Structure 1
Amino acid sequence: MPGNPLALYQPQPYPLPAPSSAAPIYESEQYPVEQPWATPIAQAVQNFADDSSANEYDASEGDSVQDVLWRRITLGTAGMLIVVVSVAITLLVTHSSESKTDNAVAIPPGPAGPTVSLATREQDPIPLTVKEVFPTKALQLGKVRYEVLASEEVKGCPETVNGNAAATLRSLDCTQVIRAAITDPDRKFLITAGILNLAKAEDVDALAQVLRSAGGGNFDMIVPTSMSVEAAQARPLHFSRNGHYLTFTTGVPIKIKPGENIFENAQLSQALNITRVLTTNALDRRELGAGVGH
């Protein structure tokens, strides 16, 4: 299924050579960028759960990180089971009605829950909305709360990136960017997370290849007027493909220490990883037919 709800991406060291034409690219693929300390997100989330200094939730009082992540596949599995059960009931009712007298009335099958293919915008024509991607003022993982400081829709996609990526986006059919400024529970980092709406997966791959190259650029930060950060030093943690969408997170410490190498900041990596998972939830819901355009 495109946009697999359990797609846990594994970042890899940067720089990497451009992918060969023979290398398969899968749905919801993580495009690796610079992170010499890279760890798979599953391990990063486990580290978060094990780190008492960062852990602000108690598994005995609520959902654990694993519970929240596994609930995503539970939702997908439940959706498929509903469709299977509906078909079985329909066949049973039809067979039963044919074996009864002429006075018997067959019960019409209930409508199956609509699903959406994210392969192309032609198959998924309804635009994203800010409410669909960032429905509340917080992104929640268990009891860990990432605050959404500001969110917006940008029609001019090239305005949201810098470097060679801006010129690439001007040549592609990108209709919108939904993005938000987010901060972690301790307000140590300012993060910009969002989704680009491109025409097809091949366009996502083309943009990703530019972003991975020297001079490719980065995603611009949303910096609230009440905050002062060195947005030019923002680092991209990830950009990934979900059908015809490209999801991304980029961030920077709110206070950068003199000489600090933010590419080695594991806490920033962790915050961006978790934010990415929560942002991608919107596309998982859309694919399952929930919340489209709302």
Structure 2
Amino acid sequence: MPQPAPPMPAPVPAATNRPTVPIPANPTARAGDVSELPRARRADRRNGGSRFWQTLVGGAAVLLLLSLTGLAVAALLDERTATPSAGQPTPQPSESSTPAGGTDLDSRDTDQATLTAKEVFPTKDLVLTDGKPAYRVLKTQASTKCQVAATGEIADLLVRLGCNQVVRGTLRSPDGDHLITAGLFNLTDVATAQRVRDRIRPLLDARQGRFRGMAAGDDTEVVEKAAARVAWQVRGHYVAYCLVTRADGERIPSDDAAAREIMYDMVELHLNRAVLDRRAAAGTAGQPDAESAGDSAGQRGTD
């Protein structure tokens, strides 16, 4: 008998145009991956924005700190500059040594005009303080030999250090009880004048020299011989000095107020403020230094 024919396979449906969507092997995991990726990106964006602001704010804070530190350092430097440390001398305001239109008194190179007796003692009556009696000028002298106004080592010192002129005068005090010889030694510069100043007291104390008074007649010879009080001061290249004796030849005590007043009148008020201020033209050049102001001592009379 003939074998029945095998059944025909079922017809395959015709393919459609719809795309086939692959199904992932683990749908749950895949869904998690898809849903978490935007969240991570949002977090990264948030973190990145936060870090940006943190960096910006931190940088601003650093700049502010640096600026404040710089201001503090500047303030500290200013304070150190303005306030000297302990043990350091406080700087003093400096003055111009050569005022406009004036003369620098620190050297003969800048102060070349020689002194004259008329310049140092312009009148016969010197009124140094308003309302007080005048000193009477008895005699004046200008000499190129400085040794005429000193003896011994003081005279040698003046010559050795270049003194080329002395202008001096003899006066009587307003009360008539004292005789005075005062004047100016002309040295080469302020340094040599200071060297003379520094040596005067040791030489007087050792009795190796003295200042000479200048007799002016009328029973004034005592000014050449009697024990005296002397004072001296440096102003520029000049040494101003004053010798005071009693008119009766008696010794003057070291604490004698009248003698101190006379020395101040002659050295400070007359020779410094009147004569040399006028020469300096503005009154500020080469002011007397603090160490020399008020130097005074006694000297013995001659035998």
Report the TM-score when normalising by structure 2.
Answer: 0.55
In the other structure, the counterpart of 1:50 is none
Deviation at 1:196, TM superposition (A): 0.6
Q: Which amino acid aligns with 1:196?
A: F
Residue 219 in structure 1 maps to residue 211 in structure 2: yes
- Structure number with higher helix proportion: 2
Q: Could you tell me whether the CA contact under 8 Å between 1:251 and 1:268 is conserved in 2?
A: yes
Deviation at 1:230, TM superposition (A): 5.6
State the SS of the aligned residue for 1:180.
strand
- List, as ranges, runs of 4+ consecutive aligned residues in structure 1 with deviation greater than 2 Å: 214-218, 230-237, 260-265
Residue deviations 1:158-207 (CA, integer Å, cap 9, x gap) = 22101311111221211110100011111100000100111011111221
**Distance across 1 between alignment mates of 2:213 and 2:187:** 20
In the other structure, the counterpart of 1:285 is 278
Q: Which has the larger radius of gyration?
A: 2
Structure 1 segment 185-264 matched on structure 2, within 5 A: 185-213=174-202, 214-227=206-219, 228-229=221-222, 231-257=224-250, 260-264=251-255
Q: Could you tell me whether the CA contact under 8 Å between 1:164 and 1:210 is conserved in 2?
A: no
Q: Could you tell me whether the CA contact under 8 Å between 2:150 and 2:210 is conserved in 1?
A: yes
Q: Which amino acid aligns with 2:233?
A: S
> How many residue pairs end up in the alignment?
180
CA 1:145–1:189 in structure 2 vs 1: closer, same or farther (change >3 Å)?
same
CA 1:230–1:156 in structure 2 vs 1: closer, same or farther (change >3 Å)?
closer
What is the root-mean-square deviation of aligned Cα atoms in Å? 2.4
Residue deviations 1:117-152 (CA, integer Å, cap 9, x gap) = 001010101101111111100211213201111111
In the other structure, the counterpart of 1:145 is 134
Deviation at 1:236, TM superposition (A): 3.8
**What's the % identity of the aligned pairs?**
27
Q: Which runs of 5+ in 2 are unaligned?
A: 1-88, 93-98, 284-303
In the other structure, the counterpart of 2:154 is 165
Q: Could you tell me whether the CA contact under 8 Å between 2:213 and 2:223 is conserved in 1?
A: no
Residue 183 in structure 1 maps to residue 175 in structure 2: no
Q: Could you tell me whether the CA contact under 8 Å between 1:160 and 1:219 is conserved in 2?
A: yes
**Distance across 1 between alignment mates of 2:232 and 2:208:** 13
In the other structure, the counterpart of 1:75 is none
Deviation at 1:216, TM superposition (A): 4.5
Q: Could you tell me whether the CA contact under 8 Å between 1:252 and 1:262 is conserved in 2?
A: no
Deviation at 1:114, TM superposition (A): 2.2
State the SS of the aligned residue for 1:270.
helix
